[in-house]
Amino acid sequence: MDFRKTYDRIPEEFDRWRPRYCPELFAEVIGYAGLGTHSAALEIGPGTGQATEPFLRCGCNYLAVELGERFVDFMKRRFGGYDNFHIVHGDFETCELGQERFDLVFSAATIQWIPEAVAFSKSFRLLKSGGALAMFMTRTDDRSANPELYEAIERVYEAHFHVETKYTCKLDYTNAVNYGFTDFHYQDWKNVRIYTAEEYVQYLAATQVEHITLQEPYRSRFFDGVRQAVLAAGDRIELRNTIALYLAKKP
């Protein structure tokens, strides 16, 4: 199964429940890349644009390449009022962008879907000399704050979470240096989200590809089991987030 268009099935739900990034991250990326009104930025797979507006507001010429048709329509509705907003419906792996080169290529939890050799080599080629690559995502820890609830939910997974295809996309971000990038470094920020049982179920159902594609009868049994586990724990689950940022430059 190709999971790449999974979220495109449910753009509104995905947009509502996907965690947002912090202002400090955007300030760091924009400053590192030196973006301004005379700069150009390329976003790989923006989805519904959780990471888009800060770059539009800085005045740079913004271009996105998005595979999902519904996501493209969503982005046009949300950001079409910006004169510097441009989007291409296509696959970053094969999309040709001509001779245009960018001061920043960035990905908000998308580049890991692309094979390493394509992701890094194409990003490198599309950047101007001195241009920046930024890769960021939110990593969620749902165990540390609620260990007993975590174990209860794990039992629900064991009993009812039977998927046809496992999500296996993974990227070693440090390998960017093998494709010519320099000044590779990492930083992160922390925050916390607290959900009720119903909110947690909706979050899982809208943001996790295997959960979205889970088939009946397992789907109903699984989500009901998770709901009951959180209700039994006081109708509260705390998620501890790490907003991770990887930066590098093309010499």
pLDDT tens, position by position, 58-116: 999 999 999 999 999 999 999 999 999 999 999 999 999 999 999 999 999 999 999 99
DSSP state of 173: G
> pLDDT at position 1, please?
60
Nearest by Cα to 170 from 111, 84, 242, 118: 111
> Could you give the CA distance from residue 234 to residue 188 in angstroms, rounded to a whole number?
31
Measured N-to-C along each axis, helices 218-232 and 147-160 cross at an angle, to the nearest 10 degrees, of 160
pLDDT tens, position by position, 209-247: 999 999 999 999 999 999 999 999 999 999 999 999 999
DSSP state of 154: H
pLDDT tens, position by position, 84-100: 999 999 999 999 999 99
Q: What is the pTM of this model?
A: 0.95
**Average of per-residue pLDDT across 14-29:** 97
Nearest by Cα to 185 from 116, 125, 136: 136
- Set out the domains of the chain in order of their start, with CATH numbers: 3-140+168-192+241-249 (3.40.50.150)
pLDDT tens, position by position, 158-204: 999 999 888 888 899 999 999 999 999 999 999 999 999 999 999 99
